């Protein structure tokens, strides 16, 4: 069953890339599969270190290029944090995150969309809301040890 699921995911990925005229290469598959297999949202550097054993000739610059291609095809999203390294997320839907202030790792936060408290938020008069972000900051279990 697990193998079949992987094939279906691969096919969905191939189609999403094809729509944008992007080829499904072994590098893109490796980046995508690493992203879908990790619990947190890694940096490009972490992705590089993780896929390098499988693809020894890959460079960090190539990782960035592959990530940009996957973002263009809307199968990966990029999370930016000012001066800190961007992180990459396999989810492209609207959702929330928790972020560790010590190690910088980012995880998905399981919260209900459009929670009641959000309706209480009142921006200043004339302000048109287009989007919002919610991030819970703290220290992860590993950093608290």
Q: In the complex, which residues of this chain contact Zn ion (CB under 5 A)?
A: 89, 91, 100, 102-103, 108, 140, 143
Q: Cβ 73 to Zn ion, closest distance in Å?
A: 17
Dist CA 76 CA 91 (whole Å): 6
Comparing CB distances to Zn ion, the nearer of 59 and 102 is 102
Which of 138, 137, 98, 132 is CA-nearest to residue 117?
132
Comparing CB distances to Zn ion, the nearer of 52 and 78 is 78
Dist CA 119 CA 105 (whole Å): 29
Q: Cβ 132 to Zn ion, closest distance in Å?
A: 15
Q: Cβ 138 to Zn ion, closest distance in Å?
A: 9
Comparing CB distances to Zn ion, the nearer of 28 and 105 is 105
Instruction: State phi, psi for 9 to the nearest 5 degrees.
Output: -60, -45
Dist CA 108 CA 44 (whole Å): 18
Comparing CB distances to Zn ion, the nearer of 60 and 103 is 103
Dist CA 27 CA 52 (whole Å): 10
Comparing CB distances to Zn ion, the nearer of 26 and 92 is 92
Quick one: CA dihedral 45, 51, 52, 56, positive or negative?
A: negative
Q: Cβ 94 to Zn ion, closest distance in Å?
A: 10
Contact between residue 31 and residue 45 where contact means Cβ atoms under 8 Å apart: no
Q: Cβ 60 to Zn ion, closest distance in Å?
A: 22
């Amino acid at each position: 069953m697990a193998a079949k699921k992987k094939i279906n995911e691969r096919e969905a990925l191939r189609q999403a890339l094809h729509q944008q005229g992007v080829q499904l290469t072994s590098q893109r598959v490796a980046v995508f599969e690493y992203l879908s297999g990790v619990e947190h949202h890694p940096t490009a550097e972490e992705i590089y270190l993780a896929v390098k054993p499988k693809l020894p000739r890959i460079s960090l610059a190539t990782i960035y290029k592959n990530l940009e291609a996957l973002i263009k095809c809307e199968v990966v999203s990029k999370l930016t944090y000012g001066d800190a390294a961007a992180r990459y997320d396999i989810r492209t839907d609207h959702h929330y995150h928790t972020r560790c202030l010590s190690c910088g790792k980012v995880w998905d936060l399981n919260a209900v969309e459009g929670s009641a408290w959000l309706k209480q938020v009142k921006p200043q008069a004339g302000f048109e809301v287009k989007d919002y972000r919610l991030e819970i900051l703290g220290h992860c279990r590993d950093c608290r040890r």
